[in-house]
Amino acid sequence: MQTKAAQVSRTRTGAPAHPELFQPIRVGNCAIKNRIAMAPMNVLFSMDNRGYTNEQITAYYAARAQGGAGLIITECVLGTRLASRFPYTSNLHLFNGTHVPGLEDMVETIHAFGAKTFIQLSIGFGRQGHSHDHEAPPAPSAVPYETNPAMMPPKMLKSIEKHPGFFNPKLPTMAQAQIPREMTREEIKGEIEEFGHSSVLAVLAGFDGIELHAPHGYLEHQFLSPRSNKRTDEYGGSLENRMRFVIEIYDKVREMIGRSVPVGIRLSGDEHMPDGIHHEELKVVVRTLGERGIDYVHLSSGSYEATKYFFPETDGTMLEEAAGFKSVLPAHIPVITPSIHDPAMAAQAIRGGKTDLISLGRQLLIDPEWANKVRAGEKFRKCTRCCECLLRTVVGLPVRCLHNRNLGREKYMPEYQRPTRPKGQMILPQLGGGRARVANSTKALPIDRTFTSSTGLAHE
């Protein structure tokens, strides 16, 4: 029996409202059906902190795929063993083979609902990390971050006033920084090497692309920023040195997987902090990555020290920075810009050439059907940007939404269970030949997933 959601989606045919949002686009070698992406968000649904997927995470992504987003970008997935020791509470992991089956199941589910999916692969939280064992998190330099209420979203502050315990020093929330330690050169090299191997596992799990996690104050951002990077070796000082970590990560991933899937990066358009990295320097980083063949750039802004910039209270706050990045990139490299909830403004931004895709975070928490409803010209639930979802993660709780009671309980909803695979068909990853095969009872058809590697996985 068809679910109500499936029946509704089949009736939404004809010319879409805001057609710019529903044009297909290619990102590298990946074809995406529209210009709407789900932004990566750490929603803490893995909960047990062992890094594995579960029914709730899978159903949560399925809901947004069924809701019409052309691209699902996962929460940040920790790609090294060292990184996995310093999440705030819980994140998915991908650095050994035991993580692959659950992620592959999640990918298959997203695909079954009609979306492509990129993994946001992270090399760590750096000074924004927290350890349950009270270890000092590894960072470029021993510089902790500072929590300044003036740099928080005003609505978030109003909620904090109702819950003053968030800033109680005895409560280990994300508002409380731990003193980091400076990473050694050997650690840096080892982390980059392990991260490269994790990118191979991402291809094995079936992801359509990889997004390098370098925005709003995480480890890669910290190396870029003179505010957090006080090193005197080849990873600190000049911009050329400060960007070395990011460039070496990108180069290692390309060495390991070649052009099998798109590789992009998420970067803040500006740190918005004194002595931080600002837009003009970040344009140099983006230009350098564009020259090296990056497949896309995804905007963010600010950091944990400046949360009001990456949780903005109005639409379109990052569009000028997006335009700045586009100005230094080849025309074929798309830019993704978040936090434009108004479909008319989003369509105008694409039509005006300021961005190529939009990504939605909190808007898809309150209404996973945003894309389908916008296409059909229907009313959608608009995010109030109250930040209640964010505040739950600050204290280590999985997200909820004041206006979407189903957020966090998608696993109980039958419409988000993966459809049955066609009878007689199964996927056979054929690593030895460098090409996966889709097998059924009569024949095997190659699919376009080739990759290079130095780990014994063949390449074409």
Same structural domain, 76 and 166: yes
**Interval 388-406: pLDDT, tens:** 888 888 888 899 999 999 9
pTM: 0.89
Whether residue 24 is predicted with pLDDT greater than 60 in this model: the reply is yes
Same structural domain, 435 and 289: no
By annotation, the residues acting in catalysis are 218
Same structural domain, 338 and 371: yes
Whether residue 177 is predicted with pLDDT greater than 60 in this model: the reply is yes
Whether residue 458 is predicted with pLDDT greater than 80 in this model: the reply is no
Mean of all residue pLDDT scores within the chain: 87
Give the chain's domain count: 2
Same structural domain, 394 and 454: no
Same structural domain, 388 and 448: no
Same structural domain, 123 and 74: yes
Same structural domain, 268 and 383: yes
3-state secondary structure the chain: CCCHHHHHHHHCCCCCCCHHHHCCEEECCEEECCCEEECCCCCCCCCCCCCCCCHHHHHHHHHHHHCCCCEEEEEEEECCHHHHCCCCCCCCECCCHHHHHHHHHHHHHHHHCCCEEEEEEECCCHHHCCCCCCCCCEECCCCCCCCCHHHCCHHHHHHHHHCHHHHCCCCCCCCCCCCCEECCHHHHHHHHHHHHHHHHHHHHCCCCEEEEEECCCCHHHHHHCCCCCCCCCCCCCCHHHHCHHHHHHHHHHHHHHCCCCCEEEEEECCCCCCCCCCHHHHHHHHHHHHHHCCCEEEEECCCHHHHHHHCCCCCCCCHHHHHHHHCCCCCCCCEEEECCCCHHHHHHHHHCCCCCEEEECHHHHHCCCHHHHHHHCCCCCCCCCCCHHHHHHHCCCCCCECCECCCCCHHHCHHHCCCCCCCCCEEECCHHHCCCEEECCCCEEECCCCCCCCCCCCCC
Domain encompassing residue 431: 424-460
pLDDT at 156: 80
Lowest mean pLDDT among 162-171, 230-239, 294-303, 420-429: 420-429
Confidence of residue 422 (pLDDT cuts 50, 70, 90): low
Same structural domain, 280 and 379: yes
Mean pLDDT of 69-98: 95
Mean pLDDT of 313-337: 97
Whether residue 159 is predicted with pLDDT greater than 80 in this model: the reply is no
**Interval 216-234: pLDDT, tens:** 999 999 999 999 999 999 9
Whether residue 442 is predicted with pLDDT greater than 60 in this model: the reply is no
pLDDT at 186: 98
Same structural domain, 160 and 84: yes
Confidence of residue 48 (pLDDT cuts 50, 70, 90): confident
Mean pLDDT of 161-175: 65
